[in-house]
Amino acid sequence: MRPDTPADHTTEAERLLRTAAQYPEDHEPLILQAAAHLELAGDRARASTLYDDLLAAPEATVDNPHLIKALKAANLWEYGHEAEARAIIDGIRTAGPLNAAPWQVAAETLEAHDELESAHDFFSTALTLLLAPGEEVPYATQSLLTGRHRVRRLMGLEHDVWDELAGELHTAPVPLDELHDPKRLWSLGSSDPVELKAEIARLRAELGTYRTALSRPFPVAVLHWPEQELRELLTAYPELTEEYVDRTTHLARLEASLRDLHATGTPNLGIVTGTVPSYEAFAASESASPSDPGLLPQYATTLAARGRAIPWPPSRTAACWCGSGEAYGGCHGV
């Protein structure tokens, strides 16, 4: 059962913090989840403390510092620390992170506090930075297009190219223009059965979109073994040689699997990186043998659920996921 009351959220936060202490390699996503539950419980000061603790850790141990800062800013603004929140948001813009999540959190924070022009600017800046002309829109970036479309509708602006693209990517039965219609608020107070039925249909469409997002909280991920780790894995468990053959074959199969999944319409794809100690610990927790190939997909899913997945595909100019140091477009993105 999902937490419902403030006490339930506090209990869940405590459980997540205990789990984070047990699994330090996954402490960041677990602590972020705990902080979110504390916010829902109304304990925003303690949530801020958790964000501060993460940010105080050595930089090498923090995977998403800009996301943590954005979440901290959103939380601070909610309980009266607007000036500090604005300063953090300005810092995120200056830093220009190359992943969508911190931009989205910061932009939606501005939007929630009726800073529509600033929110629009944040969404637009993020898309200019993250979306290369002519490239397919990554799954994580689609929400930036949707958020920008919503803000522009509230501002009464005419559609532009990105608004059209947001509409094309929208899959719900109710068009995005209708979902983001500023006049919807009037229909909530209407006594006209036709208007009320239309609003119910729109709410159901939004609920369906949210449910789809919740049903896929982490990417459909494939498992990548760095060269040294793959060598150790096949030396310790030669039974897995048929699964991977060698490094070159492993990388080629991984990219091919992702492209096949993409061709079938599977969204939110990602890559998780395995290590032999982590895999052996997972096998022990499942009371299974690491030499069992059937354990590998479960291990990949578990890593993705812990927030360890890197979205695929990267942009053509970004570093390739394989670790070659080359741009993806000149490596496996060819």
pLDDT single digits (tens) 4-27: 788 999 999 999 999 888 888 788
pLDDT value at residue 205: 65
Q: Quick one: which H or E segment has residue 73?
A: helix 65-78
Contact 331, 324 (CB under 8 A): yes
Q: DSSP for 150-203?
A: HHHHHHTPPP-HHHHHHHHH--SSS-HHHHT-TTHHHHHT---HHHHHHHHHHH
The number of angstroms, rounded, from the C-alpha of 258 to the middle of its chain's C-alpha atoms is 18
pLDDT value at residue 161: 94
Torsion angle (degrees, nearest 10) of CA 278, 58, 308, 68: 150
Residue 220 CA to residue 270 CA, distance in Å, equals 6
Q: Return the structure tokens found at 62.
A: 């923090």
pLDDT value at residue 318: 78
List the domain boundaries for the chain.
220-330
Confidence class of residue 174 from pLDDT cuts 50, 70 and 90?
Answer: confident
Residue 101 is which amino acid? A
Residue 2 CA to residue 319 CA, distance in Å, equals 39
Helix (H, G, I), strand (E, B) or coil at 240: helix
Q: Which of 154, 109, 147, 157 is nearest to 126 (CA)?
A: 147
Token pair 């479960």 is found at: 298
pTM: 0.74
Q: Is the pLDDT of residue 334 over 80?
A: no
Q: Is the pLDDT of residue 134 over 90?
A: no
pLDDT per residue as tens digits for the range 218-234: 678 899 999 999 999 99
Contact 20, 50 (CB under 8 A): no
Residue 294 CA to residue 227 CA, distance in Å, equals 21
